[in-house]
Structure 1
Amino acid sequence: MPLILSRDDYFPSPAMPVAVAERMPQPSFPPHQHAFEEIVIVWRGNGLHVLNDRPWLITCGDIFYLREGDCHSYDSVNDLVLDNILFCPDRFTLGFDWNELLPPRDLDQSASWRLTTRGMALARGVLVQLERESRKTDRLSVQLAEALFLQLALILRRHRYVADGSRALPEGEQLDLLVAAIQGHGSRPFDLTLFCQQNRLSERGLKQLFRQQTGMSIGHYIRQLQLCQAKYLLRTSSCLIGEVAARCGFDDSNYFSVVFTRETGLTPSAWRQRFHPASSAIISEAGAP
């Protein structure tokens, strides 16, 4: 059974609906659940966020919503800095329809939202005030904390997007444009030089900016996205190893196995066997590691 985090440990009073927990940095943390809901904003660094058994690569600008009962953990973190905004919907008094602001509960891509550069700046300003008020217990602070949380939720609603290229981003937000383009490519090879030419960007400058903000190179980011998808497919599908490799952007299944083993310490077949020991031998490709 995963660890369950209680309200009493994070909220200063039974009336306070919101709390802010800074993680500078966020260490690796084992699977756990909450007796409250949560919004997480990633400011810097990178790591793996495992949500309900599905791994997601997270880095600066990523935002995700956790419902009460969700099980998640952090792994392979690298200078990961984030804010946890904890909230109890049953304590809200403003009567606002929160379903208009928060993603639906059945959203499969609940970990793939991103926040524009402008949105991050606006959110950071509100969070400074929210963190201060949410530590108090007087009635005025409780009301102000809820109002500030509403303001934050409105900012996130206006400035969040799914990084698949489906929404136009403001001009000049280089990092946002790059991540949206990479994730929109799916299993197709990403041509960074062509992307920079099309968007009139300096390739060298963009590489430096990406490493500065995320703590990894663009190539490493792409490779980690591929491996997260591979882990998910190996666990949830009956695809042969070669099919998994192709769907994750690898032309050679043997090279895929080498990369996967180097990064995880397990072969693709061994990874699958952790979750499906009885069927692993059947659905693995003959001769594949």
Structure 2
Amino acid sequence: MANHLVLKKADFFVSATQPVAVADRYPQNVFAEHTHDFCELVLVWRGNGLHTLNDRPYRITCGDLFYIRAEDRHSYESVNGLVLHNIIYCPERLKLNVDWNDLLHSTRAAGKDPRWRLSSHGMAQARQLIGQLEHESVKMDALSVCLTESLFLQLCILLRRHRYQSQDATGPDSSETFDLLLAALGKSLDSSFELAHFCQQHQVAERHLRQIFRQQTGMSISQYLRQLRICQAQDLLRHSELLIGDIATRCGFEDSNYFSVVFTKETGLTPRLWRQRYAIET
């Protein structure tokens, strides 16, 4: 495995006792693969980018939420107006008597999608809490340190209450059309998606929905779905022995030749060369 950058606590926390800090990324630029000696929550507010976590690529956009452990390797590529917050914390410095492991989802099951989504209602509440947390976390007096951890606990509970899996269309506050659309797209990786049918089903104007989607994500609905499918293909090429034609089908491409053209355009490599570059370790 190639060497990667390790981010250190001393560069991000104002003291050796500070439990939580807020790092805003307005915008988040390309960032090479790295780990930390702390943990973090990543919450995306706007735009899009390619977030590679432990060798698995994810096309991220507004509302995506990741729980990043210290040992996790991740990077950001192909960013487009990507705006996010990193809430960084040191588990050993947290003093409140709560089950942090449960709240922070740190015991992630093998093979389980580590990406969560936060409902629009949850995002609005989280933004307010993060603003308070950012204000208090830079203070070093005992009361501020205590208040910082208290605000962090509130944020963790809020995220737990309003989060849902990216493929789940029945998550909290799923009445929001934007949330429902992203969930529907996440479930359409291996099948066609009819926007007109979705709009009719949810009684929303197609033109208005297209505008909202581009405003929030920085890309069109079709571009976003194509990116999701390419990420799925990258993962299958790297971590499975499926034939390229079978991978094309699993990623919603009826024609394997067309799949190869799209994949090459998006990644700069043909599917075969991508697989060779990331040969399965035996």
TM-score above 0.5, yes or no: yes
* 1:142-157 equivalence runs, <5 A: 142-157=145-160
The residue number in structure 2 matching 1:136 is: 139
Q: CA 1:35 to 1:148, structure 2 compared with 1: closer, same or farther past 3 Å?
A: same
Q: Which amino acid aligns with 1:215?
A: G
Q: 2:244 aligns with which of 204, 223, 241?
A: 241
The residue number in structure 1 matching 2:176 is: 173
Q: Is the 8 A contact 2:119 2:174 kept in 1?
A: no
Equivalent residue of 2:13, what SS? coil
| Count of residue pairs the alignment pairs up | 279
TM-score normalised according to structure 2 size: 0.96
Equivalent residue of 2:104, what SS? coil
Question: Deviation at 1:164?
Answer: 1.4
Q: Is the 8 A contact 1:65 1:110 kept in 2?
A: no
Q: CA 1:16 to 1:104, structure 2 compared with 1: closer, same or farther past 3 Å?
A: closer
- The gaps in structure 2 that reach 5 residues or longer are none
* 1:264-275 equivalence runs, <5 A: 264-275=267-278
Q: Is the 8 A contact 2:24 2:85 kept in 1?
A: yes
The residue number in structure 2 matching 1:97 is: 99
TM-score normalised according to structure 1 size: 0.93
Cα separation, 1, equivalents of 2:244 and 2:192: 19
Cα separation, 1, equivalents of 2:79 and 2:139: 32
Question: Deviation at 1:223?
Answer: 0.1
The alignment status of 1:162 with 2:130, answered yes or no, reads no
Cα separation, 2, equivalents of 1:115 and 1:278: 35
Q: CA 1:171 to 1:106, structure 2 compared with 1: closer, same or farther past 3 Å?
A: closer
The residue number in structure 2 matching 1:114 is: 117
Cα separation, 1, equivalents of 2:174 and 2:163: 15
Cα separation, 2, equivalents of 1:111 and 1:87: 18
Q: Which amino acid aligns with 2:11?
A: D
Q: Is the 8 A contact 2:137 2:145 kept in 1?
A: yes
Q: Which amino acid aligns with 1:127?
A: I
- The gaps in structure 1 that reach 5 residues or longer are 280-289
Q: Is the 8 A contact 1:169 1:177 kept in 2?
A: no
Cα separation, 2, equivalents of 1:58 and 1:278: 27
Q: Which amino acid aligns with 1:263?
A: E
Cα separation, 2, equivalents of 1:7 and 1:104: 19
Question: Deviation at 1:95?
Answer: 1.2
Q: CA 1:238 to 1:110, structure 2 compared with 1: closer, same or farther past 3 Å?
A: closer
Cα separation, 2, equivalents of 1:82 and 1:278: 34
Structure 1 residue runs of 4 or more that deviate by more than 6 Å after TM superposition: none
Q: Which amino acid aligns with 1:59?
A: T
Q: Which amino acid aligns with 2:87?
A: I
The residue number in structure 1 matching 2:5 is: 3
Cα separation, 2, equivalents of 1:33 and 1:253: 36
